[in-house]
Structure 1
Amino acid sequence: MFELFNFDPKGDSRGSLISLEVGKEIPFDIKRIYYIYATKAGESRGFHAHKALKQVIFTVSGACDLVLDNGSVRQTIKLDSPEKGVLVDGVVWREMHNFTSDCVLMVLASEEYDESDYLRDYDEFLRWIN
């Protein structure tokens, strides 16, 4: 379903740096990168699953709640540090809630955008996985 992991920060008195490399922290070739920011208070995002896409999701700044649901287990993960990431692999329903005003949510994806890969209705998602 998903794997939660911590990125290894490097730094000194000037600040911190996190390096992400394909084949190390990112277990797939990256074909698409996008980020969500300036989400209005009280708004939620996501509400879909992917049939084949893999993603690594993390916050560059701020925080939000990432809800992951495989049809039998629903779990909420607080993304509140650029040192914390989540690998989502497989058909998993995802929602994002409780964005802080400074939240920048970064997503690294294994494939380019393809609308046919999306399951946007929860009941359709449940039928797909069963």
Structure 2
Amino acid sequence: MSTPKRIVLPKIEDRRGNLSVIEEDSLPFKFKRVYYLYDVPSGASRGGHAHCKQSALLIALSGSFDVKIKNGISVEIFTLNKPNEGLLIPNGYWRELDNFSSGGICLVLASGAFEEEDYIRDYKEYLKFKRS
């Protein structure tokens, strides 16, 4: 897992509703933390950081949002709007989440527990990190 990429999760369709599953061996990392973002106000943005070591999978459980990925050279925008699709983000990539729709929910599966020292929260520091 060297670059961010979309993955399609299994979707079990049923007349009573659909079900998607994420199993331990379906990701290129073991997840240690699960959290979700919701009630994001119109015009607000989340993220705005990179991780030195941690990787993550982001999924739009409800609604939609954009994930802007920067690598210090280029920018790519992924729109997430399906609960059976996710975006794998390896460590070392800057991410910004915005354009949340009303009711948008972002589920995150992270490869590690919260450690403040793993975060790079200043973009200029991120660029220095990428050059090192």
Which category of TM-score, normalised to the shorter sequence, fits these structures? Answer: over 0.9
In 1, the alpha carbon distance for the partners of 2:89 and 2:15 equals 34
TM-score by length of 1: 0.96
In structure 2, the residue matched to 1:96 is: 97
How many pairs does the alignment contain? Answer: 129
Amino acid at match of 1:116: E
The root-mean-square deviation of aligned C-alpha atoms, in Å, is: 0.8
Kindly indicate whether residue 112 of structure 2 is the aligned counterpart of residue 111 of structure 1: yes
Helix, strand or coil at the partner of 2:24: coil
1:7 to 6, 9, 28: 9
TM-score by length of 2: 0.95
Q: Name stretches of at least 5 consecutive residues in structure 2 with no aligned partner.
A: none
Shift of 1:90: 2.5
Write the deviation string for residues 64-119 of structure 1: whole angstroms up to 9, x where unpaired. Answer: 00001111121000001101101111300000010011101000000000000000
In 2, the alpha carbon distance for the partners of 1:8 and 1:39 equals 27
Please give the residue correspondences for 1:20-99 in structure 2 after superposition, counting only pairs within 5 Å. 20-24=22-26, 26-99=27-100
Helix, strand or coil at the partner of 2:128: helix
In 1, the alpha carbon distance for the partners of 2:77 and 2:11 equals 24
Q: Which moved more, 1:96-105 or 1:1-10?
A: 1-10
In 1, the alpha carbon distance for the partners of 2:8 and 2:103 equals 21
Q: Identity over the aligned pairs, expressed in percent?
A: 36
In 1, the alpha carbon distance for the partners of 2:23 and 2:74 equals 30
User: Structure 1 residue runs of 4+, over 4 Å off?
Assistant: none
Amino acid at match of 1:75: E
Q: Name stretches of at least 5 consecutive residues in structure 1 with no aligned partner.
A: none
